[in-house]
Structure 1
Amino acid sequence: MNVENATQNGSDFGNSFTKNFSANGETQTLTITAWADTKSADGSSTDLLIEAAEIGDYPGGLGISNNTSGDGHTADNYQSNPNERDYDFFLLDFGDLSVTLNSITSGYLEYGASSTQVSVAAVTTGDLADKTWNQVDNNFSLSSGYGQFMGNSGSYYVNSFTSEAGEDLSSASSTRWIVGAFNHHFGGDASLESNDGFKLASIGFTTKPNKPGTSIPEPAPLALMLVALVALARRKVNK
């Protein structure tokens, strides 16, 4: 599903993009917001807490601007100092619809496909404010993992994710997913961070089918007859 043509709601930190689509015979709405761990917990330059960022539509896909000065329009993790590194993420909220995320595409990578990884997680909350990524992973994640971007004629894609140890991302289903710059909290080698930046152009996902309605079957006529004969026989014995 292409998200570049989604509807923008607001133009500052905490804004969103929405996109209507059809699934299971009904109209559904995807809401996309942006987040980054740019909030200091103690007033120092070490950023630990997540807060709302600004999401925008740029050439190549949806991008993120956070509260760090000089920040670009990509979902990135550029700081070389790991203690001050900011991780940008998109939150994909599918409302009441539970989905499995299968792929993402981008029209723009900052450092090319071979250097760019992405982290994803199926999460149980849409309220990321004032949490750490470690808390999100340990307390609010159903399953998480990471993937490597591949190039394809000027566009880029990830259609295979490696699950975090002990989890099965391929079968994870949730109403909310986070997608962002490579982040070791969700699996993978931390030494690969600091050069990942992408814009989100589209996502691929599958939905759980609607459960068919169930009903209690009515007793068959023969079964009713047998029940009646047994009851009549018992009455005769008791006389």
Structure 2
Amino acid sequence: MLVNFDQIIEALIETVQMVGFSLLFSAILGLPLGILLVVTRKGHLLENLPVFNVINGIINIFRSVPFIILMVAIIPITRFIVGTSIGTAAAVVPLVFYAGPYIARLIENSLLEVDPGVLEAAQAMGATPAQVIFRFLIPEALSSLVLAFTIATIGLVGASAMAGAVGGGGLGDLAITYGYQRFDTMVMLITVGILVVMVQGLQTFGNLFSKRIRRR
């Protein structure tokens, strides 16, 4: 094997950093967009079809572009934000552009599962739109939202590995540089194994956390 244990650990840390920071910024972007997609649609709390159509269209555009193409297409933006297009920090930018709209759509689906009767009851009690959103809509959908963020996190793990194709660092970069280009099967097996364990762990934790919230 051409790599040592320290290199594997370093690549794992880079992947965790990419996924962590990307998830944070994607959630900051996707959460309000997802809420707006729900409350501005026809017949909802803050019905505003022009706003809904604009946000919906933008999200559809970004969701239509494969991540590897998106990553290359926004290289000028990545360089403007972080000063480089290579490395872990640079990979976070396209990951956010990729996952932000994805999270928005997942949040939209979760919030739409809430029984409309709950919202009608809240409005009948005199709750303001903000109170309906943050005290009724989001708490009612919390279990589903946990699963949505679990799915988004797993998607980011896969996308972060793909970022290695253009020098994004992490396990993907290690697998391509040492496993594929240097024909080291053991490196490929180790990196794939680590990614599988990460995904299984995230899904298990998300399922358990969502189940606990649902029981409460």
TM over 0.5: no
State the TM-score, normalized to the length of structure 1: 0.22
Q: Which structure shows the higher strand fraction?
A: 1
Which one has a larger percent helix, Structure 1 or Structure 2? Answer: 2
Structure with the greater relative contact order (CA < 8 A, sep ≥ 6): 1 or 2? 2
> Which protein is bigger by CA-based radius of gyration?
1
